[in-house]
Amino acid sequence: MFRLSGEVQAQEKFAASLNHITSIDSTDMVVASQSDGGKGILSFPGVNKLLFLNTRTQETRIVELPAGFVISRTFLNVPGRYEGERLVLISGTYKGWGNNEKLEWNDPEYLFVSTASGQHLKQISPEEERLVEWTVNKNSNTLALITRPDTNKDKKYDAKDSNKLYIYHLTSGQLIAMPPL
């Protein structure tokens, strides 16, 4: 199943539309995803921005991810603290990793962290390494993540590449590579 969406545009170079909103537990914050459409009558927008809204103060903050990044999932009610606030995790893919400016199934996925107020956005998973799996340990306030680097630089993730394990300390911002087995 797929969803086709279109936008009618006038003089603007692009039109933005909010398409999903979720509350962050134990905070005054809600997060809406925002899509940018390109020039033209029909567009197939990729989610590349998040709108953080404080429902108590009505203050908003737009978090724009790096150029070419398309969000695949946003995790809002994750245990743990980052920069003294609730934690928000964002996973997604960079368009054009294989030198073709298209999103493809084998493009690497990356993990970003932000606060519940939309501040301190930071990429956690290393460049050129595909995110495989992650989990948060609430007791130690850490993220454990498994990645797969493209060790032979052939722009493919295959059996020739082996996984790596990292621990990311949410308090200090330190990413530590664990020794291989």
| Residue 103: C-alpha distances to residues 49, 126, 135, 148 (Å) | 17, 19, 25, 18
What band does 139 get if pLDDT is binned at 50, 70 and 90?
very high
- Note the pLDDT of residue 166: 98
Number of CB atoms found within 10 A of residue 101's CB: 9
Which residues on neighbouring strands pair with residue 52, listed in sequence order? 31, 61
- Note the pLDDT of residue 77: 86
**For the chain, percent of residues with pLDDT exceeding 90:** 44
CATH class of segment(s) 16-177: mainly beta
Q: What is the pTM of this model?
A: 0.79
- Note the pLDDT of residue 45: 47
Q: How far is CA 14 from the centre of its chain?
A: 22
Neighbouring residues of 30: CB distance < 8 A, sequence distance ≥ 6 = 21, 22, 23, 24, 52, 53, 55
**What number is the average pLDDT over the span 160-181?**
92
- DSSP helix/strand/coil, 152: coil
Give domain limits for the chain.
16-177
For the segment 39-71, what is each residue's pLDDT rounded down to a tens digit? 333 333 467 788 999 999 999 999 888 877 888
For the segment 66-84, what is each residue's pLDDT rounded down to a tens digit? 877 888 888 988 888 999 9
**For the chain, percent of residues with pLDDT exceeding 70:** 77
